Amino acid sequence: MAQRYLLNFDTRELPVYEADALVIGSGVAGLQAAWYLARGGKKVLLACRDSLSDSNTNKAQGGIAASFGKDDNPKLHLEDTLVAGAGLSDRDISAIVTKEGPADVQTLADNGAEFDLDADGHFALGREGAHCRSRIVHAHGDATGAEVARSLNALVAREPNVKPMTQCYVTDLLVDHGRCYGAIALYRGAKVMLRAENVVLATGGTGRLYSKTTNPEGATGSGMAMAFRAGAELMDMEFVQFHPTALSLPGCPNFLISEAVRGAGAVLRNLKGERFMPGYHPQKELAPRDVVARCIYKEMQEADSAFVYLDATGIDHVADLFPMIADTCRDYGVNIEKEPIPIAPAAHYMMGGVHTDAHARTNIAGLYACGETAATGLQGANRLASNSLLEGLVFGRRAAQDILSQKRHPSMPEGLYWKEGSLNENTPDDAAARIAAAQDIMTKHLGIRRSAQGIEEGLDLLAGIANSREGFAANTPVELDLRARLLVDRLIAEAALRRKESRGAHYRTDYPEKSDAWAHHTLDTWEELEKAEEEKQDGHVIWSGREINVMA
């Protein structure tokens, strides 16, 4: 059984850092929340496991979707979002994001973000898959995320109310009688208590659960794991998006080749040099991401190849349009102006996560979640391209505004403390090898194409790794990382086995069609997992998950 707390600790004996709000994570959502909270007069602890610049936001290339074009409006953006979400995007939530998002982008530009402009001084708008209009705001061609992170970091740095805490690995949330009072962390190697009236989880996604991913090291689902152990609801964990085009060469990282390259005219070709997407979908290379990823995977399987080609040689001045992509490919021997780029799909984005409402509130009082950590209902079963940075801006702000609007609730009651001390401190020292094994299991059994047999095999293999850690405390960041990974791995696998249909990014070879019976979200909780464990006979047990309707 998964442990509720990962560390042995007694909060009466720990150093305490205290503020009005604790923000965990330094991507777009966390920085946006911290900035708005500090501007509103709140003292903020901003905790991140490495540096403030280490986030998925910093790696994002394509841009921010927002309806600034003369021929565009929030309603059109809303409809594109709902179509891409394959029937699971919440209409009310999606309407909020598409309506409020442009103002958040404009606020960022007004406060120092240097987005690319056209000759008239308006945002230069790109086009990406499944969008009916050009509405992608970008910066420096293909470095939008880095510019968003730079500008928000600069804004946060000017706020004296924000205390950045780098190298701070938050491990456990402290919840009593349904209210969150803070967290336990390893801060530069020492256990500490982070005490706050409100906690904002913005810890990013789950890409690093897979061996092939576009995500940075910190994207391990740690925030989802700690929230789940604390009693928060997780929603739609089966929906993992695989980006269709990541650089695929021996010895090179799975570097993202932005969808904007296809939006500018690049085409996909198989090993024979044949363009294949027109034979699969009317939108060709700009079909929804799940469709493009599966088509590429099929072509790779048929050719017994580790890649296909993305041909951008027909785009005028392509290296000027996408300088970071051009430079990276050149470093690995590919001149994108003269030759096609070897690419393959890679794990990219988690549509599921901690279930929240329209104000980023979870089912635990005082606990908020935003960004990729959260499941707001916007992304549905398949995220529309470039909606992620937009969602982070909107719900980072909304979380902060909700906290600022609340009457101050009583601080942690006098005498309340938490203690965990039942775990063996002699932790096994093979965590890194176990992480690599788990990544391979997820890639093989919970990837682009899934089946009951494969998922069950994956679950059994993951259980073998998890069982080897039972009874031990997690004493190092790598061991903490392994525990968080294994819990989220299991949640993804159980949810994927439970959903007997194919919808959006979740594709079952044994249930290849979408089913109206599954046109709903599901919620998982710690209590349901515990009950399933108690009823377990042989092997694993699939708990049902509670259904909630989607506002379509």
Residue 354's closest CA among 483, 225, 442, 482?
225
Q: Which of 192-206, 338-352, 411-425 has the lowest mean pLDDT?
A: 411-425
Residue 521's closest CA among 336, 297, 357, 318?
357
Rounded to the nearest 10 degrees, what angle do helices 431-445 and 477-498 cross at?
20
Cα distance between the two ends of the chain: 37
> The dihedral of CA 318, 320, 325, 326: what is its sign?
positive
Query: What pLDDT does residue 551 have?
Result: 45
Query: What pLDDT does residue 61 have?
Result: 64
Contacts of 369 (CB under 8 A, 6+ apart): 200, 201, 202, 223, 227, 232, 353, 354, 356, 360, 362, 399
**Tokens linked to 6:** 């990962």
- Catalytic residue from among 49, 135, 289, 398: 289
Buried-state track 383-409, b at ≥16 Cβ within 10 A, e below 16:
bbbbbbbbbbbbbbbbbbbbbbeeeee
CB 340 within 8 A of CB 269: yes
Residue % of the chain over a pLDDT of 70: 94
Query: Tell me: the pLDDT tens digits for 527-536?
Result: 887 777 766 6
Q: Which of 266-270, 306-310, 388-392, 465-469 has the lowest mean pLDDT?
A: 465-469
Report the predicted TM-score, pTM, of the whole model to 2 decimal places: 0.93
Query: Tell me: the pLDDT tens digits for 40-77?
Result: 999 999 999 987 776 667 666 669 999 999 999 999 99
Query: What pLDDT does residue 219 have?
Result: 93
Query: Tell me: the pLDDT tens digits for 103-132?
Result: 999 999 999 999 999 999 999 999 887 899
Query: 3-class DSSP state for residue 256?
Result: strand
Query: What pLDDT does residue 288 have?
Result: 82
Query: What pLDDT does residue 427 have?
Result: 84
**289 in active site:** yes
